[in-house]
Structure 1
Amino acid sequence: MTEEPLPTNASSGVVRVGDTVRRPAGPWTDSVDALLAHLHAVGFHAAPRPLGRDEQGRQVLQFLSGEAGSPDPRWSTTDLGAVGRLLREFHDAAADFTPPPDAVWQTAIPADREDLVVHHDPAPWNLVRRPAGWALIDWDAAGPGSRLWDLAYAAQTAVPLRADRPLAPTLPRLRAVVDGYGLDDAGRAALVPMLHRRVTAMVELLRSGAANGRRPWARIWTEDGPYWQRTADHLAAHTDDWAAALG
C-alpha cells in the first residue's frame, strides 16, 4: 500500500499506510505499546490502538482521522475545556498502569515528579478533533511524570500563553483548560509556578541540545529558541495574573 509521510517536528520516518500509522521502533516502543494497550483495556479510546510491528519492524498504530491541531490554535473556551477533560481522562486511565519490569522510556525532559506515566507532549500539534471528541497522538515521548507537568504544557500551548498575545483574553482561556481538567484548589496553586517551570525546562533542553549538536533539539533551538525564551519570560512576569485567573 502507498506510504504517505506524516508531518512531525521532532520525529522522522513516520508514515500513514491505509488506516494505520507506521513509526520507526526504538527501545521504548514496547513500553509505549503496553501503555496504549492498557488505556484501551480500561476504556480510554482517545489514543491510537497498538497493532504490533510490520515486516520492516516498525511500530504499527491505528490511524485516528480528524482535524489536526496547529502550533497556534484559535480554539474556543469550549474546545479548551474539552482538551482539559481529555487530559484528565487520560491521566485517570493511566493511574493504575503498571509498566513492564524492563520498561524503557524516551523522555526528553525529566519531569518534576514521577507519579504516573504521562504523555509529556500533550500540545495542539498532537491533538486531533474527531466527531467522537478529541484524541491524543504521538506517544513516543511518554514516560514517568506528573499530572501538573502534562497540564502545564497543555495549557501553555493550547491557550496559548505567549508574549505576542494580549494578556486579558488569555486569562479565561487558561481557566477553561483547568476547569475542564477539574483541578482542585491545591492543584491550581501548584500549577501557577509549574507553567514557568515547564517552559524553562524546554528552553534548557533546546539550549543544551544546540550546544551539543543533538538533533532535533539543535534545529528547533535555531528555529524556535527565541520564542521559547520569550514565553518563559512572559510566564514569569505574569504569575499573579495566572493565579487570579485560576481563582
Structure 2
Amino acid sequence: MTEEPLVGNVTSGVVRVGDTVRRPAGPWTEAVDAVLAHLRSVGFRAAPRPLGRDERGRQVLEFVPGEVGGPYSPADLRELGRALAELHQALADFVPPPDAVWPRLIPPDREELVCHNDVAPWNIVRAERGWVLIDWDGTAPASTVWDLAYTAQTTADLRTDRPVAESAACLRAFTDGYDLDERQRAELPAALGRRARAMHDFLRANTGTQPWSRIWREDGPYWLATAGYLDGHQDAWRAALG
C-alpha cells in the first residue's frame, strides 16, 4: 500500500499506510506498546490501538482521523482535563514490563506512574469518537503534577502576550475538568513554570540533534519567556485553582 508521509512537526520517518501509522521503532517501543495495550484492556478510548510490527520492524498503530490542534473553548478544556485525569487513572495500576526501556528526555519532579509526557495541542486529535492522544514516544515514569503542568500550560495557552485573567480562567476550566486533589492543587501553580523551564533547558542542551535543534531555534525563546510569565503570576494561578 502507498506510504504517505505525515505533515507537520512529526517524528522523521512516520508515515500513514491505509488505516495505520508506521513509526520507526526504538528501544522504548515495546514498553510503549505495553502501555497502549493496557489502556485498551481497561477501556480507555483516547489512545490509538497498537497493531504490532510491520515487515520492516516499524511500530504499527491505528490511524485516527480528525483535526489536530487548538484553540480550545472552555468546554473543550474541561473535556481535555477530564481526559488527562482518566488517563492517569487508567495508568495508576499499570505494571511495566520488567525489561521496560523509557525515553527519559526531561527529568520529572518525581516518578509516581507512567505518563504520556507530551499531551499538547499538536498531539491531540479531535476525532469522531472524542479526543484521542497520539505520539506516545515520550512515555515514561513521571508524576501527575508534572504531566498536568505541561498539558495545562499548552492546552490552556498560558503565554506572555495573554492577559493574566484570561489565562487564569482557561487554567481553571482545564483543572475543573481534571478535578485536582488537594496536593495537586497546592503544587501545580509552582510546577507550571518549572515544567516550562525544563523544556527550555532540555532544548538548549540538545541543539546538536534533530528535531531538538530545529525546535530550539523556533521555540527556545518562547519556553524561557513562558517560564518567567508562569513563575511571575503564581498568585493568579493559586486564586484560579481556589
Q: Return 5+ residue gaps in structure 1 as ranges.
A: none
Match of 1:237 among 213, 219, 232: 232
- Measured in 2, the distance between the counterparts of 1:132 and 1:51 equals 19
Match in the other structure for 2:210: 215
For the pair 1:97 / 2:94, whether they are aligned, the reply is yes
For the pair 1:32 / 2:23, whether they are aligned, the reply is no
For the pair 1:86 / 2:108, whether they are aligned, the reply is no
Match in the other structure for 1:53: 53
Match in the other structure for 1:23: 23
**TM-score w.r.t. length of structure 2:** 0.97
- Measured in 1, the distance between the counterparts of 2:8 and 2:118 equals 13
How far residue 223 of structure 1 moved from its aligned partner, in angstroms, is 1.2
- Measured in 2, the distance between the counterparts of 1:202 and 1:194 equals 12
How far residue 196 of structure 1 moved from its aligned partner, in angstroms, is 0.6
- Measured in 2, the distance between the counterparts of 1:76 and 1:10 equals 25
CA distance 1:9–1:108, change in 2 (3 Å): farther
* Aligned ranges 1:131-170 → 2 under 5 Å: 131-170=128-167
- Measured in 2, the distance between the counterparts of 1:9 and 1:229 equals 20
SS at match of 2:206: helix
Question: Is the Cα contact below 8 Å between 1:10 and 1:216 reproduced in 2?
Answer: no
Match in the other structure for 1:113: 110
SS at match of 1:35: helix
Q: Return 5+ residue gaps in structure 2 as ranges.
A: none
- Measured in 2, the distance between the counterparts of 1:184 and 1:50 equals 32
Question: Is the Cα contact below 8 Å between 1:114 and 1:144 reproduced in 2?
Answer: yes
Match in the other structure for 1:195: 192
Runs of 4+ residues over 2 Å off in structure 1: 7-10
- Matched letter for residue 12 of structure 1: S
- Matched letter for residue 167 of structure 2: T
SS at match of 1:120: coil
Match in the other structure for 1:9: 9
How far residue 7 of structure 1 moved from its aligned partner, in angstroms, is 2.8
SS at match of 1:162: coil
How far residue 41 of structure 1 moved from its aligned partner, in angstroms, is 0.3
Q: Indicate the RMSD between aligned Cα atoms, in angstroms.
A: 1.1
- Measured in 2, the distance between the counterparts of 1:7 and 1:86 equals 25
Question: For this pair of structures, how many residues does the alignment match?
Answer: 242
Segment of structure 1 superposing worse, 147-156 or 166-175? 166-175
Question: Is the Cα contact below 8 Å between 1:84 and 1:179 reproduced in 2?
Answer: yes
Match in the other structure for 1:226: 221
CA distance 1:113–1:8, change in 2 (3 Å): farther
How far residue 10 of structure 1 moved from its aligned partner, in angstroms, is 5.8
Question: Is the Cα contact below 8 Å between 1:107 and 1:120 reproduced in 2?
Answer: no
- Measured in 1, the distance between the counterparts of 2:71 and 2:218 equals 22
How far residue 8 of structure 1 moved from its aligned partner, in angstroms, is 4.8
CA distance 1:198–1:244, change in 2 (3 Å): same
